[in-house]
Structure 1
Amino acid sequence: MTILAKKDPDETLLEHTENALKVFKSIKEAYPETPFICGVSDFWEHLFYSIFFHDFGKAASGFQRSIYGGEKWKYRHEVLSAGFVSGLEYENQSREAIALAIITHHKDISYLREKYRTDSNPLAKNRYIEKLQELTPNFEELREIQQKIPEISEKYLGFELNKFREIKSSEEMVDSYTNSIRPYKKKLDNEELTALHGKYGIFLKGFLTACDHLASGNKYNLLPGIEDMRAVYSFSELRKTQIKALETKGDAFLTAPTGTGKTEASLFWSDANQNQCKSKRVFYLLPYTASINAMYKRLQKDFKDPELVGIQHGKAMYYLYRSFEDEDYLIATKKAKKVKNLTDKIYRPYKIATPHQILKSMFGIRGFEQNLSEMSNALFIMDEIHAYDAHITALILETLKVLKSYRANFLIMSATLPSFLRELFKQELGITTEISFTQAELDEFTRHKVSVLKGGILDNLKLIQKEIDNNKKVLVVCNTVSQAQKIYRSFSQKVHNSALIHGRFILRDREEIESKLDNLNLLVGTQAIEVSLNIDYDVLFSEPAPLDALIQRFGRVNRKGWENKVIKPVYVFDQGSEKDKYVYKNQELVAKSLELLSKENILGESRIQTLVDEVYSNGYQGSDLASFEMVKKNFSTYHNTIVPFINEREKEDEFYKLYQSVEVVPIQFKLEYLEEIENKRYFEAMKYVASINFNQYKKLQHNNQIQIDSNMIFVSVEYSSKFGLLLDSDESIKGIFNNDS
């Protein structure tokens, strides 16, 4: 009987091994610096042996019977596979490393210690010996495969390996748990860390997992990046920042106004920093889901090959499912999973993601070894870096410092980054290159006339109505959802081509609103419109906010005004609502911003950096400073506790607390949601999900407005497709919900 690695379709052990080694060959070509980064000169030999033996335990007769339709085999094939390192003629650490990579390629050390601990559990030891005997019926075939090592290593590694003595029977195999996991864990507990507890172990585990998973998905080569980015964006004339980006090697800052071709410049930079075989992975990081989805769609179109670009954020699976939604649910789900799974592997050369996707790896969450391996020598484009609070900014900075030790390069982009933060990033990351326009060049992009108006937004509704009556496309930005709902209520009956956008809509309605954002007479929103949404309005009315946030709001008006030298008005009210202090805790920044803007008229683009620096002349203050310094102080100690082969389940909880949001379903959709769940139509069920922050959740819980069913939180709160969740007790708004659902 031929040893099978898997069924449907049949794939023999030798076929799967060779398929995984095809991926290995592609990874070796794509990541030539790995031995130098991890400090192990014969790293590729060790990885070859890890892959070669990773599934040998599947030869056990019980496992083979289960593949051929028998009862489930209740053991781990990796525990047996790792025993074949007995034949390796290496020193102990190398054998231990290869065994560890094999034994943990599906389950981590914590899981194995709990269920397969042969060093102190007689029952587990006897079970291991019993399962080891199951290899005997198929050992002749295993010997034949072992004898192919010189030939196969020549084919995939590039030279013959001869550091292996053939294992002829299970009696010659050592207990891999006792000989690899126990010493590794003991050294960890005694703080006697070795290379195996660092990059060496990370790369070994990460690349083995990638080879196994990609081979199982019938993908045997990593896709290379774009051959010539200049051919993709064949503009007749390039902007100065784009020319400089094409010439810049290494890390850089790029500062440019919204709408001046930063995206193309960043991709030109990635081209300039590629290696000869175009194998460096490119991560384009953005703060918000809507902008990530838009960039994903755009690059798929620009690159003319959807396989090259992947998307990673918390709701990526849902977004991908929606792109296949015209098909049968099961087919659409299967396609979405396939696209997502390949994106999560080291396969696609370009990934559009949130910074949370790279922060994950710093918390030791399952799969972090593969993620970090992929990110070695990668190119990171950090867009809209100004959009994060002090806590996340510090986490990003510390994460980039770790990635620098993996020889990654960074392009950090913003239209409004305070100089104190730029200098901090430059100093900590050793960035010396700045790509920007001169003052005169910047002023060519001037497009706004700014006015600070007395009073609050509710006092000036007639002024807003006047602009609408003059056929202007009007944008109104509030600081809180409740205020935005009030303002929209004032206009929704009178202005038919209008919409409200904020973070408390269910996914179905949020998508519907986002699909028509640029075609409205009136859009009322919150900070949701500040970053990366490709919208263009004629006039802005905004509640007061810190200057960098206001500049982002201004950027949604008259985006291409410089082309025809058109100036359009942006208005900022000098009073906000009572709840603004919870959104912008440092109200001094807001006051200082208004004071400076009140002295401006035509807001020259070259003035913006000066004004932002004046607002932030003292850097972070108060709770922002405390939060930033806390991360800076504790990060390295914390990160140094993360070691390969062990998933940090407790730290996973800590990571997800960073999101500070809770997914809920409005009570009116409970039956629809539960019906979709019952029918296993999970992505259809997600359409009814909205997000609220943790404090709002606790308040609803306190008021007995929470129900939990089928692991979902249902909130007894009124909901409207036009207004979203109404969490605040404004009866004047609630009254219209009865006529609008």
Structure 2
Amino acid sequence: MVILAKPNETLMEHTENTLKVFKCIKECYPDVPKICGVPDFWEHLFYILFFHDFGKAAVGFQNSLNSNNYWGYRHEILSACFIISLNDIFPEVTINAIGLTIITHHKDVKKLRKDYQIKNKEAKRVFDEKLFELKPNFDELISYLNLVPKLSEKYLGYKLKTPNNISFEDLRSVYNQTVLNYFKDFKIGNYNELHGIYGYFLKGFMNACDYLASGSKYEILSAVKNGDLYTFDSLRKTQLIASKTKGSSFLIAPTGSGKTEASFLWADNNQTDNFSKRIFYVLPFTASINAMYNRLVKDLGSDELVGISHGKASYFIYKSVESGDYDESNFETKRIQNLTKKIYRPYKILTPFQLIKFFFGVKGFEMGLSELTNSLLILDEIHAYDARVTCLLLESLKILKSKFDVDIFIMSATLPSFLKNLFSKELDISNFISLDSKELDSFTRHKVNIINNCIENCCDKILNDINSGKKVLIVCNTVDKAQFIYEWFKEKDVDNSALLHSRFILKDRERIEKNLDNLNLLIGTQAIEVSLDIDYDVLYSEPAPLDALIQRFGRVNRRGWKDDIIKQVNIFKIGSDNDKYIYNQNLVNKTLDVLNNFDILPESKIQEIIDHVYSEGYDSKNQETFDEVKLSFNRLLKNIVPFINFNKDNDFYNLFDSYEVVPQKFREEYLDEINNKRYYKSMSYCLSISKGQFFKLQKDNNVEFDCNSNTYFIDVKYDSELGLKLSDEESTIL
């Protein structure tokens, strides 16, 4: 009888397919044995893959493959029984590690203890019954053992010993010696190497091989030489230095000076000979992540090489592949995102939360950390995060650099020295790439004008600029203010204008973001500050701390330095009462005072004045937050071990200060998409609001929860140009 692993794939075909992936992963991650301190690591993983699906030979499982009958047991529990054949090859501790990885490759320790623990007569009876189903195919399975030398020579590079020839009577449950003992050690804090990096790698790479082979992908892709993509006549100084720099580094350079290209040139110089290192590019906001994805796909000439990871990534991918046939688009979106979640694509663009989450034990964290091993990590605009996220990111980076051999490239146009010093000390980074004063001043392009008024009183002046043909950018600190100002200009019949903030449903925000650089007037909030390649003639901004303002300046006259063009940026001295919930007003006042000393703002002075504004580092409130988060994070880390997932309601998901909702006016359209199983289309009606806003609406009976669709509907006015109209907000940014 031919033993099947899947309806159209034999057990040994699937096994060999996982070994094809194994070979590629071994080539791409050559330092893994050294990093985890287990010289024969790849041998352990080979045997795990060889035995991982042996339990599928059970008659009941075989019968279920071509029927709708559910077998009702875990094949992994039976597969692990075969580790007894390795008794003369490895010590007991290694055999148990192999067994634990096999038995948990689909369900974690907690799930197995809950549903499959063999601790009573009935559970033992069920196990014996299922084990007996292996007997008709046992001789066939044992014959496969003779394939080990040949397969290991082909995929490992040298021959391994043939496992011992065992009898059916030798098979027994290894649950207690693997799962139960591991869990007991975990509970009493008696950790061994299996609770550490070695365990992460066994579980992570095992799942990577199995998942990719199941998806008919038998290799992982390598990066390309990024320098070959650029056609510059000559490299700028920072790019040239980056292209020759080894190891973790800082790059501080003006907006529009080619930092992105510099980071990829740095990546080239830190790659392996076969360009196998993964490259992770971290950005603060979804809009800038989406824009970077489009840019990389265009530069690389392939969407197969680039992955994207953030809360709405699936919707973004769906829109990029959308065709007239929803089922076809749905299938393609799932295919793309499923591969992105695996160790396959060499480039991934993501938010910091997609890194941080692996240290909270969410499902799949072992594969995530395994993929990050020995990778190249690029962080753009790290000044954009609050004290809480900065702390979580820094603590995560410390682990990745010290334990997983990750190289880090941190870049920003506006990084206060206290943050630079903090990151450089904690991450032991000594490479600093920057321009000297003369070079910096060649990027000077802004004339600063402080207006002793508020934006509401100056709209007529702004209208004159628009009517004179200037492309105008207005940045407000709150959504309410941005909506108010936008409505004023709409009443004046200003054409070709848009409003951008966080309170649009996805399909409206997508429509707006497509045309950001082709407008006469763009009004936005902090969402436009970071990494958007837009270029306007003049800025009008509400008051904000200097680093935020410099980012706003960077969206005006973006490349004016090429022709020595200077354009004006206007900052209003008076903001709104609600600004105090967003920005430290002491920082705002210091910013306005220091900018008052300038007419033309030399680029060489920006670092100096940023350090003046942030001379005291974090204020007491933010420093307290930073210290508390650091303490809590490191306390949590002690409980994060491989093979054990933590529940979805754990601390990680509490980091997100928002609820996803659907405006009531779209209820019928949304539910229609849900009922017709067009889930990606249904996402187009969703947006996020803060917890504070959500609870206020709930208190006012403006929130309805629909159990069937698991959706919150909010009874709030919504307009496709203005977005959601909330009132009495305390803090609404982005």
> What band does the TM-score fall into relative to the shorter chain?
over 0.9
1:363-422 Cα deviation digits (max 9, x unpaired): 010000001011010000001111101110111110000101110000001000000100
Q: What residue is the counterpart of 2:48 in the other structure? A: 50
Taking the aligned partners of 1:167 and 1:635, their CA distance within structure 2 comes to 47
Q: Does 1:232 align with 2:234?
A: no
Write the letter of the residue equivalent to 2:660. E
Q: What residue is the counterpart of 1:287 in the other structure? A: 284
SS of residue paired to 1:306? coil
Q: Provide TM-score, normalisation by structure 1.
A: 0.96
1:707 corresponds to which of 704, 710, 722: 704
Taking the aligned partners of 1:491 and 1:107, their CA distance within structure 2 comes to 57
Taking the aligned partners of 2:231 and 2:121, their CA distance within structure 1 comes to 69
Write the letter of the residue equivalent to 1:384. E
2:306 corresponds to which of 304, 309, 313: 309
Q: What residue is the counterpart of 1:276 in the other structure? A: 273
Q: Does 1:436 align with 2:434?
A: yes
Taking the aligned partners of 1:444 and 1:319, their CA distance within structure 2 comes to 38
Q: Is the 8 A contact 1:147 1:166 kept in 2?
A: no
Q: What residue is the counterpart of 1:180 in the other structure? A: 178
How many matched pairs? 723
Taking the aligned partners of 1:160 and 1:530, their CA distance within structure 2 comes to 57
Q: Does 1:698 align with 2:695?
A: yes
SS of residue paired to 1:147? helix
Q: Does 1:657 align with 2:671?
A: no
Taking the aligned partners of 1:609 and 1:135, their CA distance within structure 2 comes to 70
Taking the aligned partners of 2:543 and 2:581, their CA distance within structure 1 comes to 13
- 1:58 deviates by 0.3
- 1:305 deviates by 2.2
Q: What residue is the counterpart of 2:616 in the other structure? A: 618
Q: Is the 8 A contact 2:308 2:350 kept in 1?
A: yes
Write the letter of the residue equivalent to 1:482. D
1:147-168 Cα deviation digits (max 9, x unpaired): 2111111111112211621233
CA distance change for structure 1 residues 429 and 333 in 2, over 3 Å: closer, same or farther? same
- 1:637 deviates by 2.5
SS of residue paired to 1:476? strand
- 1:174 deviates by 2.7
- 1:145 deviates by 1.0
Q: Does 1:531 align with 2:530?
A: yes
Write the letter of the residue equivalent to 1:727. L
Q: Does 1:378 align with 2:378?
A: no
Taking the aligned partners of 2:370 and 2:172, their CA distance within structure 1 comes to 29
Q: Which runs of 5+ in 2 are unaligned?
A: 730-734
Write the letter of the residue equivalent to 1:471. G
Q: What residue is the counterpart of 2:562 in the other structure? A: 563
Taking the aligned partners of 2:535 and 2:258, their CA distance within structure 1 comes to 16
2:480 corresponds to which of 479, 482, 485: 482
Q: Is the 8 A contact 1:245 1:268 kept in 2?
A: yes
Write the letter of the residue equivalent to 1:302. D
Taking the aligned partners of 1:558 and 1:308, their CA distance within structure 2 comes to 33
Write the letter of the residue equivalent to 2:424. K
Alignment of 1:413-452 (within 5 A): 413-452=411-450
Q: Is the 8 A contact 2:145 2:162 kept in 1?
A: no
1:660-713 Cα deviation digits (max 9, x unpaired): 111111100001100100000001111110111110001100110001112111
Taking the aligned partners of 2:198 and 2:40, their CA distance within structure 1 comes to 11
1:638-669 Cα deviation digits (max 9, x unpaired): 2121000000116x532122121111111000
CA distance change for structure 1 residues 335 and 612 in 2, over 3 Å: closer, same or farther? same
Percent identity over paired residues: 55
Alignment of 1:583-598 (within 5 A): 583-584=582-583, 586-598=584-596
Taking the aligned partners of 1:529 and 1:357, their CA distance within structure 2 comes to 22
Taking the aligned partners of 1:644 and 1:289, their CA distance within structure 2 comes to 30
Q: What residue is the counterpart of 1:212 in the other structure? A: 210
CA distance change for structure 1 residues 109 and 729 in 2, over 3 Å: closer, same or farther? closer
Q: What residue is the counterpart of 1:454 in the other structure? A: 452
SS of residue paired to 1:647? coil
Write the letter of the residue equivalent to 1:271. D
SS of residue paired to 2:307? strand
Alignment of 1:474-553 (within 5 A): 474-493=472-491, 494-553=493-552
Taking the aligned partners of 1:157 and 1:325, their CA distance within structure 2 comes to 41
Q: What residue is the counterpart of 2:63 in the other structure? A: 65
Q: Is the 8 A contact 2:280 2:377 kept in 1?
A: yes
Taking the aligned partners of 2:167 and 2:286, their CA distance within structure 1 comes to 55
Q: What residue is the counterpart of 1:400 in the other structure? A: 397
SS of residue paired to 2:577? coil
Cα RMSD after superposing both structures: 1.1
Taking the aligned partners of 1:176 and 1:24, their CA distance within structure 2 comes to 25
Taking the aligned partners of 1:327 and 1:145, their CA distance within structure 2 comes to 48
Write the letter of the residue equivalent to 2:216. N
Taking the aligned partners of 2:650 and 2:192, their CA distance within structure 1 comes to 27
Q: What residue is the counterpart of 2:683 in the other structure? A: 686
Taking the aligned partners of 1:500 and 1:634, their CA distance within structure 2 comes to 39
- 1:277 deviates by 1.5
Q: What residue is the counterpart of 1:261 in the other structure? A: 258
Q: What residue is the counterpart of 2:732 in the other structure? A: none
Q: Which runs of 5+ in 1 are unaligned?
A: 731-741
Q: Is the 8 A contact 2:146 2:162 kept in 1?
A: no
Q: What residue is the counterpart of 1:735 in the other structure? A: none
SS of residue paired to 1:485? helix
1:171-217 Cα deviation digits (max 9, x unpaired): 21231211201111111112110000000110000000000000011
Q: What residue is the counterpart of 1:352 in the other structure? A: 349
Taking the aligned partners of 2:361 and 2:375, their CA distance within structure 1 comes to 19
- 1:234 deviates by 2.5
Q: What residue is the counterpart of 1:6 in the other structure? A: 6
Taking the aligned partners of 1:527 and 1:540, their CA distance within structure 2 comes to 13
Q: Is the 8 A contact 2:503 2:689 kept in 1?
A: yes
Q: What residue is the counterpart of 1:143 in the other structure? A: 142
Taking the aligned partners of 2:431 and 2:271, their CA distance within structure 1 comes to 18
Taking the aligned partners of 2:338 and 2:347, their CA distance within structure 1 comes to 15
Write the letter of the residue equivalent to 1:77. H
- 1:70 deviates by 5.4
Q: What residue is the counterpart of 1:79 in the other structure? A: 77
1:122-161 Cα deviation digits (max 9, x unpaired): 2212111110000001112101112211111111111221
SS of residue paired to 2:247? coil
Taking the aligned partners of 2:654 and 2:635, their CA distance within structure 1 comes to 19
Taking the aligned partners of 1:608 and 1:417, their CA distance within structure 2 comes to 10
Q: What residue is the counterpart of 1:92 in the other structure? A: 92
Q: What residue is the counterpart of 1:601 in the other structure? A: 599
1:106-133 Cα deviation digits (max 9, x unpaired): 1100000000001x23221211111000
Taking the aligned partners of 1:638 and 1:684, their CA distance within structure 2 comes to 38
Taking the aligned partners of 1:272 and 1:561, their CA distance within structure 2 comes to 30
Taking the aligned partners of 1:729 and 1:588, their CA distance within structure 2 comes to 24
Q: What residue is the counterpart of 2:123 in the other structure? A: 124
- 1:729 deviates by 6.5
Q: Does 1:330 align with 2:333?
A: no
Q: What residue is the counterpart of 1:102 in the other structure? A: 102
1:248-279 Cα deviation digits (max 9, x unpaired): 00000001111111111000000000011211
SS of residue paired to 1:148? helix
Q: Is the 8 A contact 2:387 2:622 kept in 1?
A: yes
Q: What residue is the counterpart of 1:362 in the other structure? A: 359
Q: What residue is the counterpart of 1:410 in the other structure? A: 408
Alignment of 1:668-679 (within 5 A): 668-679=665-676
1:41-67 Cα deviation digits (max 9, x unpaired): 111111001100000000000000001
Q: Is the 8 A contact 2:148 2:162 kept in 1?
A: no
Q: Is the 8 A contact 1:506 1:687 kept in 2?
A: yes
Write the letter of the residue equivalent to 1:425. F
Write the letter of the residue equivalent to 2:696. K
Q: Provide TM-score, normalisation by structure 2.
A: 0.97
